[in-house]
Chains A and B, each alone.
Chain A
């Protein structure tokens, strides 16, 4: 396996506060990597560094061995990144399928001139329809996103990401706000997408699902990487338990887990 994404010694300072400190890890081709850590650990900041929304103070990010540093967000997306955001952001002025078709039209929206001279979108609607079917929300295709429940919107967000020319899918808490059944179904869908050949980085607080679906975990705490490896090994790591539950509480965690 070769590294598709390589995060090298990334440090981010916000007005002197260290948000990320010397974080390095690789995401391998075809992998489903879980990026976990307590609130405020720096997971979302790291995702923003990868997509170029936040510029790192030092360090480098490589996709396919090519540096992404200094590239604006939209060009990184065109290199093959896709971001599914924590807070869903559908365009409510267009139908569900139009949302996906817009993402599928990347070639036609590459520049204003190209966009001005293209009107047809049969191909994009077809891709949109297929993706909606794949995610099981095809019956909502022509409805407004405004009236959809969270479960549908999370899937729409995912469909829109999949419509892009995709090498690496970054998922920021896709399961948040879903009940356990919905979360389990969506986690299954994510696994299927990964089996289809898409490399995925999953940020998620739902540890049960993370442990069930992820191949490997990277754990952040206070802006530092504190562990990396197989899910079970990582979760048995004392540092990780302490980070999640506080020192001293780590021991009780086992009991609570058993009780649940």
Chain B
């Protein structure tokens, strides 16, 4: 039972993390190859504060705040560079995070941070809490998609210059997407640190960023249900099949390639194509 609870917690955190990237990349069309850095910011913030004696639940909003604030700063880059250049820039941000953390003794340098203190919650309660957070994020995502912000995001993803000549303040909306997405990644990071009790710089590197991107792409860029399902499945695959754990980057990179090549809309588009062949533009 212990193992299943742990697995469910991992799933919930992955779903939350993937949905956070979906907010930026899926909804607003801003590619990020360094999203794991924000997971790291949240994890380090929560872990260090918890060790300093701050109650776990209080560390979460602070983790979100710091990750979101740094996210807005990176978001400013998205106002200047686009598409492939943004991919390179965010990739650089990811490397920058790992590079900086490795050199800081306060952050545990290469050794990372271990022995993060327990919460009052039992393992089961913590798992339920993580699931509740993931579910809340899914509900928020579905709401954002339905409201006017989601409509503007979708338009920006398609053609931001045209959105601008429609009188819409594109920079504010892009920064909002980054703030929301990176704050949620910070929340996922806080849960991650508490779940594993140990964090090190390498947990938030390029591989992690690619993993979460492949979860979003495989699920279907922008589709809340698709991303939820794919993150849940892909996050437990390495635990079920040892071979996937050994070749993680190969498997996720391969999935990313196959999806982009054969179904850029992800599983969500495949499902739509099979069940509603007459529907156009379904994401």
Contact = CB atoms under 8 A, between A and B. Distances in A.
Interface of A: 51, 72-75, 77-78, 83, 85, 89, 91-95, 98, 102-103, 105-106, 108-112, 114-119, 121, 143-144, 146-147, 160, 164-165
B123 to A, nearest CB: 35
B176 to A, nearest CB: 4
B167 A117 contact: no
Nearest to A51: B165
A51 B146 CA distance: 30
B280 interface: yes
B73 interface: no
Nearest to A83: B165
A185 B143 CA distance: 42
Given A74-B169, A93-B157, 9 more contacts: A73-B164, A83-B165, A93-B283, A94-B154, A108-B148, A109-B168, A111-B169, A116-B144, A116-B147
12 contacts: A72-B169, A74-B169, A74-B170, A77-B166, A78-B167, A106-B167, A111-B169, A111-B172, A115-B151, A119-B148, A147-B280, A160-B166
A134 B155 CA distance: 24
Q: Which size bracket describes the interface of B in this complex?
A: 20 to 34
Contacts of B148: 105, 108-109, 114-116, 118-119, 121
A89 B147 CA distance: 23
Contacts of A83: 165
Contact of B158 (A91, A114, A119): A91
A73 B165 contact: yes
Given A93-B158, A144-B280, A117 B147 contact: yes
A89 B166 contact: no
Contacts of A98: 151
B120 interface: no
B152 A109 contact: yes
A164 B166 CA distance: 7
Contact of A89 (B151, B159, B168): B159
Given A85-B165, A93-B158, A164-B167, A115 B281 contact: no
Interface in B44-82: none
Interface in B132-158: 143-144, 146-149, 151-152, 154-155, 157-158
Contacts of A146: 280-281
B95 interface: no
B273 to A, nearest CB: 15
Interface in B75-100: none
What does DSSP make chain A's interface, helix, strand, loop or mixed?
loop
Interface in B252-274: none
Contacts of B162: 85, 89, 91
Contacts of B149: 112, 115-116
B173 A102 contact: no
Contact of A74 (B143, B157, B168, B283): B168
A106 B148 CA distance: 10
Contacts of B146: 119
A93 B151 CA distance: 10
Q: Which 9 A-B pairs have the closest CB atoms?
A: A77-B167, A115-B149, A115-B148, A112-B176, A89-B162, A119-B147, A144-B280, A108-B148, A116-B149
A115 B224 CA distance: 19
A82 B180 CA distance: 31
B95 to A, nearest CB: 30
A165 B168 CA distance: 12
B116 to A, nearest CB: 34
Nearest to A145: B281
A117 B143 CA distance: 10
A73 B158 CA distance: 18
A143 B162 CA distance: 20
B154 A115 contact: no
B158 A105 contact: no
B155 A102 contact: yes
A106 B163 CA distance: 11
